[in-house]
Amino acid sequence: MFVKIASIDKKLIMDSGSRVSYKKEEGLLLVISAPSGTGKTTVCRALVDKHPEFILSISATTRAPRPGEKDGRDYYFMSKDEFLRKLSQGYFVEHTQIYGNLYGTPIKGVKEALLSGRTMVFDIDFAGGHSIKKAFPDYAVLLYLLPPSYETLHNRIISRGKDSPKEIENRLASAYNELQFVHDYDYFVFNDTVPQAVSDIEKIIFAEKSRTYRIEKPLTLFPREDKHSV
């Protein structure tokens, strides 16, 4: 017996919206963390700009908006009372406090991204990333972005031009201490240049979306077209 099967459509593998045989919650949660001054936010935005089908997670915060920032685009700005009220209602999948300000990731948007098969990119710290991983262990991928060298990190922090000498010292010390957590992540990528970092991250996303556990019924990838006796 000879069984002819349809060729595998690459789009079926790459386009999450077409994978009828894959799990319903087939999205991907890509958590990117990095020491201060590594260029994490720049890389996250470059990745999402290159892939409009990706979603950049928007955090809620109690800090005041900075010049040029818009509510609902950069952050969800809210008062401390509102933040704490929402926190008590289970509104956030993770939250943290940084320099006296509260930050949190609304869980609703995360669930919507998963159910729609989208890739959501998170620009959050170590604790927040592991909270995401704990809440969604089958869909969260933790990536640690590294500077090409400590000297580069030092120069990037200084070139920000908005920190006092004491703040620069604190940021450098914090960044150095955070490097010890790299083994708690699934992957690492060096941010030597933004285009190369984005390219390396794309390869990781492709690998994660190609994991076999995402296929519920493998045979549906090979629909039979006809049978012939030989």
What secondary structure does DSSP assign to 32-100, as a single string?
A: EE--TTS-HHHHHHHHHHH-TTEEE---EESSPPPTT--BTTTBEE--HHHHHHHHHTT-EEEEEEETT
Split at pLDDT 50, 70, 90, the class of 10 is: very low
5 lies in a domain? no
- Among the listed residues 226, 225, 178, 205, the one whose alpha carbon sits nearest the alpha carbon of residue 13: 205
Residues 115, 27 contacting (CB under 8 angstroms): yes
Per-residue confidence (pLDDT) for residue 3, from 0 to 100: 31
Could you tell me which residue, 26 or 57, shows the higher pLDDT? Answer: 57
Question: Does residue 3 lie within any of the structural domains?
Answer: no
- pTM of the full structure: 0.79
Asked if residue 209 is part of any domain, the answer here is yes
Q: In whole angstroms, how far apart are CA 73 and each of 33, 76, 134, 162, 186? A: 20, 8, 26, 23, 28
Our count of domains for the chain comes to: 1
Is residue 116 in some structural domain?
Answer: yes
What domain range is 34 assigned to?
23-214
| Average pLDDT in the chain | 84
Report if residue 13 sits inside a domain.
no
pLDDT band at residue 5, thresholds of 50, 70 and 90? Answer: very low
DSSP state of 7: P
Instruction: Please check the confidence at residue 137 and state whether its pLDDT lies above 70.
Output: yes
Domain annotation covers residue 16:
no
Give the pLDDT band (50/70/90) at residue 191.
very high
Examine residue 112 and state whether it is found in any structural domain, yes or no. yes
Calculate mean pLDDT across residues 139-163: 87
CATH number (domain holding residue 177)? 3.40.50.300
Residue 224 lies in a domain: no
Kindly state the average pLDDT of the residues 192-220.
87
